[in-house]
Copies of this chain bind each other. A is one copy, B any other.
Amino acid sequence: MRRGRVVLFEAAGKDFRQETFEVRSLQRGELLVKNRYTTICGSDLHTFCGVRKELSPTVLGHEIVGEILELGPEHPGVDMRGNPLAVGDLITWTIFSSEPDSWYAHNGMPQKADKLFKYGHALAAGAEIFHGGMGQYCMLREHTTVLKIPAGMPLAVAATLNCSTATVAGALRVAGDIRGKNILITGMGHLGITCAAMCKSAGAALVIGADITPGRLATALQFGADKVINLKEDAAVIAALLQDFPRKGIDVVFDMSGSPDAMELGLSYLATGGIAVWIGAVFSTRPLQINPESVIRRLITIKGLHNYNFEDFNSAMTFLENNWQQYPFEQAIEKEFELHEAQQAFEYAVQEKPLRVGLRIGHE
């Protein structure tokens, strides 16, 4: 019987605990993966800091790349593009698995479908331990959608695909056609810079990156932002800028920050007919104050998106395949740690607020 180590999260403020467990045998449709690289997502940090509640103990980490160790009975043996899967292949997979034959799955929202299971978010108990990125192995449930990592793509780049990149791909899908549009992105974390690069590559007329941290604004310029705005200082600058736009406002605003101030500002900057896509606020915030008359008279659309669907997962891969070298995505993983240094990695991430911290797994 194979045994493996995981890093257990028990409660905010308590150190991680490393422990070794037996890896159970595979069931119908499952895959066993040897984790190779996990990036720490903002949501992992929210749990670590007690801002988000999860069942515990749990194995955090859902932005994972791994290597196939074993295909379970009746596994279809192909990824979502039809590429054959074999032991040794490097893969990434959707953050969730769910029942394909259910209403939400049939209606483009598999991330909310029946029998939902989310990697890096589940209770670690009994034989069900290996379902997060902060362990040596991950067991992929039946109906988990998989993509092979293209040759040459660094593990650190590929790791962010199944959360940050795919969610941003979803944001662009719900925003509709980006070509020729003026875009504002609030929050220049990993989601924000990815969104800037994706909008630029989708043919946006102008991409404005906004944040309250000068360092993040400088980074945004490397990821396709044509212009950057410090929301703490430049409210008047953006208001003036809008007067030169043909529609006197922003066509699409993406909020990646989760800041109520940023979401309210974003709505106020929209042109008539504009769209606001909210992604960032996956934690509790103060309520937004929204003027319904203004939403109505300006024909505003507001869309919330959480996670992503299979189309988004696939288009995220296409985007990264074509663009990971056009923009410094590799440098966005600003510091790397080994799995056994998980505690330091999280403390570093909380303190220094890098775009991403990476955990290398299986080198030890």
Contacts and interface: CB of A to CB of B under 8 A. Distances in A.
A147 to B, nearest CB: 23
A272 interface: yes
A260 B291 CA distance: 9
A123 B298 CA distance: 22
A246 interface: yes
A40 B116 CA distance: 51
Contact of A263 (B287, B292, B306): B292
Most buried by B among A280, A293, A294, A303: A293
Interface string A239-257: 0000000110000000000
A228 to B, nearest CB: 23
Contact of A288 (B247, B283, B292): B292
Nearest to A283: B293
B305 A296 contact: yes
A303 B301 contact: yes
A294 B286 CA distance: 12
Interface in A90-119: 103-104, 107, 109, 112
Give the 10 A-B CB pairs with smallest separation, nearest first.
Answer: A295-B304, A296-B304, A281-B292, A287-B289, A302-B302, A288-B290, A297-B306, A301-B303, A300-B304, A281-B293
A357 to B, nearest CB: 24
Interface residues of A, number: 40
Nearest to A272: B112
A281 B296 contact: yes
A104 B298 CA distance: 12
Interface string A253-291: 000001010010000000011000011111111011111
Task: Count the copies.
Answer: 2
A92 B12 CA distance: 65
B273 A296 contact: no
B282 A112 contact: no
Given A258-B292, A260-B292, 10 more contacts: A104-B273, A107-B273, A282-B293, A282-B297, A287-B289, A288-B291, A297-B306, A299-B306, A300-B304, A301-B301
A107 to B, nearest CB: 7
27 contacts: A104-B273, A107-B273, A112-B272, A112-B273, A112-B299, A278-B292, A278-B296, A281-B292, A282-B297, A283-B293, A285-B291, A285-B293, A287-B289, A288-B289, A288-B290, A288-B292, A290-B290, A295-B302, A296-B306, A297-B304, A298-B306, A299-B305, A300-B303, A301-B301, A301-B303, A302-B302, A302-B303
Contacts of A104: 272-273
Given A289-B289, A301-B303, A303-B301, A296 B279 contact: yes
Nearest to A292: B281
Nearest to A301: B303
A103 B246 contact: yes
A262 B306 CA distance: 25
Interface in A160-202: none
Contacts of A258: 292
